[in-house]
Structure 1
Amino acid sequence: MNRREFTRNSVLSVAGLAASKSLFSRISQINPEIEEIYLIHFTHCDYGFTDHPITNIEQHVEFLKQAMQFCDETAGYPKESRFHWTVEGIWTLENFWKEASMLEKQRFDKLVANGRMEVTAMPANMTMLPSPYEWENELKRLKFFYDTYQPKVVMQNDVNGIPWGMIPSFLEHGFEYVWMGVNEYGSKAPQKVPSLWWWEGPDSGKIKTWLAYHYGSGFDFFHKEWWRRGPVPEAHNIWFNPPSGNETFDNSPVEIDKAGRFTNRKLDALRKGNYPYSKLAISLTNMWRCDNDPPCRQISEFVESWNRLEKKPRLIFSTPSEFFKSMETVSVGKMNTIRGDWSDWWADGLASMPQQIAVLQDAKRRNPEIIESARILNVDTGDMKGKVEQMNHQLAFSMEHTFDAYNSVAYPYNELCMGNQHHRYGIIYEAQERSKNLKAAIIRNYRDFSPFSRTRFIEVMNPGKIARSGWASISGNALRFDVNAAKDLLTGEIFPFEAIKGYDWSEPFEGKNTVLEFPSNVWGEVVAEYRFFLKNLQPGEKRRFELLKTDLKRTGELSELKITQGSLKNPVGNLLIRANDYSIFDDNSNWFPGQIIIEKTSGFKSRSNIENRKRDLLNFTYSTPELVKSELFEGQYSTRKVLTFKTGIAKAIVQEFELPGGLSRLNITTTIWLNEQTDPVAVYMAFPFVRQQELPRYLSYGYPTRVGKDQMPGSCGEYTVVQQGIWFEAEQFNLVLNTPDNPLASFEKLSTRRMQEVFTPANSHVFSMLCNNYWVTNFPILRPAKLVLRHSVEIREAKTNQVFESTNELWAYPVKEHRNG
């Protein structure tokens, strides 16, 4: 990314400490001289960004082989100048292992055993999206590498957050340290850089954490200017090359002397900034592209000459775990404990690809249901194991932190950007396809399954962990019988079908206007599916039905919630609990429930000002779509209000507000026919809940986390990855907002873009971030798309530690003719 300016500033900023000379003098007496600098050398792995991801995958295997060669070449050097290499992610090691010869594997093992190479614990540098199921299964898939190399250091670079819910998992797996090399581009470190402290997790477990300099900053300790040109040349660009010889880390006595004076000025500033240790670690990469760079051989010569010339402090070419071990004694009594979820400043970039993130979230939800449904249906999944494992790996890989090329906004349609997007999007859609195919395979291997052409019986199952109420759906095209209802074989209750229209292979209908879909002269409208609504299916419960013809019309059951009369200003109205008229939303808010808010900014360098958090230089304007139609539908299972809006950013926006009968739930489905958005824009959905006594909670890697109170001070307070939604706990009930397709939310107000840190919300308003295109790099612009985004508000039984599921998907499938018993 645009790292040069920001990584240099993060190092040089310590020199700007404003204090008197007498204070400096007292601090210098308290803080020891820095006697040793540990140089930690690795290449930062972006799967994309600089090149097509396939190039990077191949490059990192070659980089590892080069590092092994450099280790061998420097075996006779003094110990502290021998070449060392840190493998930043285990996926790199896995790719190496797939193609390495037996001799290369043996060489690697020997170098690890001798401490010349170290394997760190993370598969790659990850976003905040992983949830326990796919993540733990990915670690299980990589068990050979964890068992063989027993990594102790969790290394996360570039990204400036990790879910605190991972801390218990880290400790359980035997990981002892966290090395966090944040990139302060568009973000800030939560503590002074560098610093060492205990990071406390949600279960009070602690892990020792080094808040490191960014990997590009180590070069700045010995050089006044970056050698790199570019900014980010692709690997195939023959006009650029990594430095060699003395082009960087010049080991001549004259240059060593210059570097020594330069380095010690930085160290003096660091001590004056109250750095309390006699040892320091800095990260080093190379100066070709900075990201995805090969090992830098000349560091060994530089360290050897520096130490031979007795420059201070002493340089030690080493690995992260060796640095942590060296700090055991010198850090006694000097480490604070910091508690909370490490919220990521970069997370808003996920909203630049809303369609793909919605698919990813859907596949993630289905992932644990695959094995659970096989257990419920007593299906052997032995021959599916490889496919399940591959799907889970694809889901994990899709949450790695690289989502596009470095020039993704400047040149959104060039080969590099399109290649990056197609690779990542392809993996997401492939994982989704695998999840659906595995679901179908389990159903088809169920002993009671029957081809639908031979049966009038179906079964409906809840594959989840909590009770579900939702639609059971049957393909409209596949239905061969003249039926219009399903009869519960246990209770005798009859459920008439609702027909859902769609477009499928058929002749177009003359005069039928389908302006929001493809042109009406392509296909005609048909019944895409028939469905009926079931309530309160328990986890693992199966219910059987016979399909039949009936004249019965079901009387709609009242919802346990009700919507008040809307108005021109608020066409939705408020949402009340029917039993006591409790208002769920704040009547005094500027926003109505589910309202779409469009945020735009204009002016020179507006994107840059957004990312640099220069809020005062930004001119934000806010608008809401114009209502053009409001319709009310009374169905057999629910009441629906459908609102159609017009706006400049989309062909149309249609919102459906549905109250299912007999439930305390409001479903909101928002369909946006989005136009291409190259100018900066963000779109939110408002949920101005009435003031609640408790703070909103979300799940951080499966652990309930209170907004503000359980978030790390200094981490991002503008928006948070809430995974599947948030909830408020109360004595009488839990108020839940499900956001299955949109994992980002802001609290109290819209994002400030003022580098706001974690805070305690002054109200209970929540804003779901639907999409934005604010980033200048690494994330795509908003492409034309049909976005179908789901939200729901529901009242649940009051529980302190409830299982949080945001889906009500039920599995329906044909089965053999019913037999008693």
Structure 2
Amino acid sequence: MIREILFVHHSHTDIGYTHPQPVVMELHRRFIDEALDIADDTADFDDESRFRWTCEVTGVTMDWWNRASNGDRDRFLAAVRRGQFEVAGMQWHMTPLMDHSMALDVLKPIQFFRDLGIPVRSAMNTDVNGLPWGMVDALLDHGISGISMAINEHFGHALRPWPRAFRWQSPAGREIIAYNGFIYGVTSDRGMRVPVDFDEALVRVPQWAKSWEERGYPHPFLMMQITNIRYHDNGAPQRALPEFIRRFNATDPAVRLRFVTISEFFDRLRDEPLDTLPLMRGDWTDWWNFGAGSTAQETRQALQGQRDLAAAEGLRAFVPGATLKREDELFEAARRALGLYAEHTWGADRSINQPFSPETRTQQLLKLALAPEGASIARMLRRDGLERLAGEIGGEEPRLLVYNPHPFAVRQSVKLPLLPPVGGVSEVRDGFGIEAIVPHGPSSHRVQRQDVIFSDLPDRHAIWTEPFELPALGYLSVSAASVRAAASPTADSMVLSNGRLRAEIDPAGGLTSLTLDGIDYVGKAEGVTFGVPVLERPEGGTREAIFDRVDVEAAEWNKSWHTDWSAVREAGKVSEDAEAITGQGRAEIRQSFTFSTGDRVTVVWRLVADQAALECEAIVDKAPLASPHGIYLPLPVRLAGAWHCDYETAGANVRLDDEQLPFASRHYITTQRYIRIADGNADLTVATPDAPLWQVGGFTFGRWREPDGSVVRPAPILNAWLTNNYWSTNFQADQGGRFSFRFTLLPGSGRPLGAAVQAALAYTQPLAAHVYAERGPLAAERGQLLDIDAGPLMLTRLEPADGGVALTFLNPDDQATEARIRAGRMAPAAAKRTSLSGAVIEDVAVANGELRFTVGPRAWTRVVVTS
């Protein structure tokens, strides 16, 4: 029987929503000040009613610390020692937009607090409806043994059973205690009337406890995350709560109330019988992140910024110790901006019902600015890293540097600006509006435009080069004037061909075939055509047709879903004859589609050189419509038998359905860089750098079923969800303008998962190019940082560390993989395996400049190599 209600008191941190973002940061400084006052005032209360405060995220807590007086810092540490204050381990409440590196970055502040003597042992990801599977290993490696998710079921769903603690098993088989809990705040003040109405609470508290006992809740205590009775988000601590609890317990109730910190709660759970903590394995796929489709352009920028930042950090490993003093600050600025974009709050609480209000606009601008801020700094740092490497390689005449950031060999054409000195071009073409890449002058001037030129390169001013072939972490320097465009594929009679891949385009819209080695990968499905965009709207034109208004008095807000909602779908109409363009190393066919809303989508199919890859670009000209709608690009695939789908989340490859927790989101998913659909004989893997949202098997949003959230998938369809504004709060209602989504379609026959993933990663993060000159004698045209043979392993991070380099590998396969590293520019002399946080686990033997180590099935590990 439930004998205690445990209250974990905190302020829920929304970076925005209730106030503009800078104001939120100041409010949380004040909340910590207030919580310290209440903690001091109640230090002599009995243990049950003594005020306790959990700082929900490290981001605002560190912000407070950096501004606090020494006296207040001492008070904070004293409250920690008394057990009245605790710091939880996540930097912000994160969405699955965070990549592998960001999943570790959001845990870095933990060490700052531990160095102060604050034992950070638990974490909270409040409000959000999921957490990437790899976070289990990341949390454990950072010394976090419990993760609490206070699920907000508005347009979402908690796992089942609920509420319930369980042992969440990582992809590699390790376990963390997770709590799948109630939404913070409202369940306490509405469900139990704590601390709203004392007399009513005396009645409601035992009723609340009994209701969950009857549903099978197994523990003698029930934890509630409680915020503020009037402002559940960004709310102040409740000064009245300690006295309310003391007075309540003085009545000697059957169910008592108690303050606890989040770690005290997890300590209680660890003392419970093991059979009350079921073992559950799979991805906690998020339900909420479909809102990222309401700001598609900025989401695209943020994802590119994460990849550029990872590349920039890896390039620092090539030339250790040569960075400017302020470079670390720039890396941190990029990480902060990109991290805050991936944080779960998008905008104002009135963003949908008052889309044109000044408050909506203010918060929208502040949020959206984070993506270009972080991305622009990241691409500059990447450019600087390439220039620094160029300085090591040398070369006086203008040269082209090509770099492979992957732990596997890549053969690929590179898209370059057709500007002097590339390809021997002597003049800038009319209308380009910029100077040659390598003018005479100081080095800062030589390189300062390349991040702009390469990132915003119109096709009409580009060439696609003859393919370069580079080994793992390899580079090549060639004369810029010697670079030539590849032999162009053909675009004839609505057919693209390069001798390996053949794509036939239907004049009425879409692809009719995509053939590689005699196998056609274009399938047919009812209501969709491969590559013909679709506009979707709820019948009746309201968001409530999908998810109704919640009954805040009820516990299960998921009852507001209309899983049988009626949709009106409109296939795009071809608006003009297709345009074929051939030359400069590529061939493409463009089709334009229009919708009754005024929205327009141009789909570009492109072959480059002899690559067995079909590029697809969906260019959306979006009308700023606030009524609910979504735009898709369906890709039905021809597969013969039972099929499955894989996608990427931070720290893991996930098999859809088979590797998801009960009631994790199956009706749509967020992927990082690729999505793959396959049967036993063939697969279509899609590199998707710009479009993270996908529905698999059809139009499945909101169409889940009891008892586990499963979805009917009538056909093997990868349905790219380009844009939507279905959310009823927080996200943007009326995005408009032009934005594009790039895809690379990579058909394959009989290849293993690891090979398909590597093929996609090479296009999501293609070979990097940089033009330079006047760097002294040429030292070597070719080289590698390290000679790596890592099989299917993914290199999720490369960074300078301990006077050498650290390589973080993720094994997507179910079999252990042995990796081998030999000398390149760097000659290994010593190596060690560490945790993801950098704690040394074991030495790795190095013999004759070579080291070998094994990465277990689905494991995520880090190796530090020094010379």
1:345 aligns with 2:345: no
Give the match's secondary structure for 2:316: helix
d(CA) in 2 for partners of 1:549 and 1:86?
62
1:538 aligns with 2:471: yes
Write out per-residue CA displacement over residues 41-97 of structure 1, whole angstroms, 9 at most, x where no aligned residue. Answer: 111010000010111111011101100100111112222111111111010111111
Aligned counterpart, 1:483: 424
Matches within 5 A, 1:389-428: 389-428=332-371
Contact 1:167–1:206 (Cα < 8 Å) also in 2: yes
Aligned counterpart, 1:65: 33
Contact 2:13–2:234 (Cα < 8 Å) also in 1: yes
**Cα offset for 1:308?**
1.6
Aligned counterpart, 1:635: 583
1:582 aligns with 2:528: no
| Matching residue within 391, 399, 402 for 1:448 | 391
1:593 aligns with 2:593: no
d(CA) in 2 for partners of 1:687 and 1:96?
49
d(CA) in 1 for partners of 2:126 and 2:228?
15
Q: Percent of pairs identical after alignment?
A: 21
d(CA) in 1 for partners of 2:192 and 2:615?
58
Matches within 5 A, 1:195-274: 195-220=164-189, 249=195, 256-274=198-216
d(CA) in 1 for partners of 2:72 and 2:153?
37
Aligned counterpart, 2:731: 779
Contact 1:461–1:811 (Cα < 8 Å) also in 2: yes
Contact 2:504–2:514 (Cα < 8 Å) also in 1: no
1:42 aligns with 2:5: no
**Cα offset for 1:409?**
1.5
1:367 aligns with 2:309: yes
Contact 2:480–2:771 (Cα < 8 Å) also in 1: no
1:698 aligns with 2:641: no
d(CA) in 2 for partners of 1:594 and 1:763?
16
Partner amino acid, structure 2, of 1:545? V
| Matching residue within 167, 180, 183 for 2:149 | 180
**Cα offset for 1:310?**
1.3
Write out per-residue CA displacement over residues 755-780 of structure 1, whole angstroms, 9 at most, x where no aligned residue. Answer: 44244745421101100011121100
Give the match's secondary structure for 1:344: coil
Contact 1:654–1:671 (Cα < 8 Å) also in 2: yes
**Cα offset for 1:740?**
0.7
Give the match's secondary structure for 1:353: helix
The TM-score with structure 2 as length reference comes to 0.78
Aligned counterpart, 1:169: 138
d(CA) in 1 for partners of 2:413 and 2:564?
48
d(CA) in 2 for partners of 1:800 and 1:60?
46
Aligned counterpart, 1:232: none
Partner amino acid, structure 2, of 1:573? T
| Matching residue within 657, 665, 669 for 1:708 | 657
d(CA) in 2 for partners of 1:370 and 1:619?
44
Partner amino acid, structure 2, of 1:87? C
Count residues in correspondence: 728
Greater shift, 360-369 or 455-464, is seen at: 455-464
The TM-score with structure 1 as length reference comes to 0.82
Partner amino acid, structure 2, of 1:785? G
d(CA) in 2 for partners of 1:504 and 1:158?
48
d(CA) in 1 for partners of 2:31 and 2:483?
69
Contact 1:729–1:800 (Cα < 8 Å) also in 2: no
Greater shift, 361-370 or 811-820, is seen at: 811-820
Contact 1:35–1:278 (Cα < 8 Å) also in 2: yes
Aligned counterpart, 1:95: 63
Give ranges in structure 1 of 5+ residues lacking alignment.
1-31, 225-247, 486-496, 507-524
Aligned counterpart, 2:676: 727
**CA separation of 1:552 and 1:170: change in aligned 2, threshold 3 A:** closer
Aligned counterpart, 1:798: 751
| Matching residue within 720, 725, 745 for 2:694 | 745
d(CA) in 1 for partners of 2:30 and 2:185?
21
Contact 2:502–2:514 (Cα < 8 Å) also in 1: yes
d(CA) in 1 for partners of 2:713 and 2:525?
17
Contact 1:563–1:573 (Cα < 8 Å) also in 2: no
Greater shift, 260-269 or 181-190, is seen at: 260-269
d(CA) in 1 for partners of 2:349 and 2:105?
31
Aligned counterpart, 2:769: 811
Write out per-residue CA displacement over residues 644-697 of structure 1, whole angstroms, 9 at most, x where no aligned residue. Answer: 223334564222111223221000012112111211110111111122655111
**CA separation of 1:156 and 1:746: change in aligned 2, threshold 3 A:** same
| Matching residue within 605, 615, 618 for 1:657 | 605
Aligned counterpart, 2:21: 53
**Cα offset for 1:527?**
6.5
Partner amino acid, structure 1, of 2:133? W
d(CA) in 2 for partners of 1:776 and 1:221?
22
Aligned counterpart, 1:559: 498
Write out per-residue CA displacement over residues 609-667 of structure 1, whole angstroms, 9 at most, x where no aligned residue. Answer: 34642144544333323342212233352321111223334564222111223221000
d(CA) in 1 for partners of 2:249 and 2:485?
91
Greater shift, 800-809 or 727-736, is seen at: 727-736
**CA separation of 1:545 and 1:328: change in aligned 2, threshold 3 A:** closer
Aligned counterpart, 2:129: 160
Contact 1:41–1:283 (Cα < 8 Å) also in 2: yes
Contact 1:463–1:811 (Cα < 8 Å) also in 2: no
Contact 1:121–1:154 (Cα < 8 Å) also in 2: yes
Partner amino acid, structure 2, of 1:135? A
Partner amino acid, structure 1, of 2:669? T
Give the match's secondary structure for 1:158: coil
| Matching residue within 714, 717, 730 for 1:765 | 717
**CA separation of 1:259 and 1:548: change in aligned 2, threshold 3 A:** closer
d(CA) in 1 for partners of 2:525 and 2:191?
58
d(CA) in 2 for partners of 1:280 and 1:223?
12
Give the match's secondary structure for 2:467: strand
**Cα offset for 1:745?**
0.6
**Cα offset for 1:149?**
2.3
d(CA) in 2 for partners of 1:261 and 1:476?
77
Give the match's secondary structure for 2:373: helix
Partner amino acid, structure 2, of 1:283? Q
**Cα offset for 1:603?**
1.8
Write out per-residue CA displacement over residues 371-396 of structure 1, whole angstroms, 9 at most, x where no aligned residue. Answer: 22233466723532221122122222
**CA separation of 1:536 and 1:196: change in aligned 2, threshold 3 A:** same
d(CA) in 2 for partners of 1:550 and 1:173?
47
**CA separation of 1:315 and 1:559: change in aligned 2, threshold 3 A:** same
Q: RMSD across aligned C-alpha pairs, in angstroms?
A: 3.1
d(CA) in 1 for partners of 2:751 and 2:459?
43
Give the match's secondary structure for 1:798: coil
d(CA) in 2 for partners of 1:121 and 1:202?
21
Give the match's secondary structure for 1:573: strand
Contact 1:503–1:526 (Cα < 8 Å) also in 2: no
**CA separation of 1:471 and 1:431: change in aligned 2, threshold 3 A:** farther
Contact 1:504–1:528 (Cα < 8 Å) also in 2: no
d(CA) in 2 for partners of 1:101 and 1:762?
62
Partner amino acid, structure 2, of 1:347? N
Aligned counterpart, 2:441: none
Whose Rg is larger? Answer: 1
**Cα offset for 1:598?**
0.9
d(CA) in 2 for partners of 1:322 and 1:656?
56
**CA separation of 1:682 and 1:545: change in aligned 2, threshold 3 A:** same
Write out per-residue CA displacement over residues 534-591 of structure 1, whole angstroms, 9 at most, x where no aligned residue. Answer: 24333333333334499999465963643354434454321011x3x11112145543
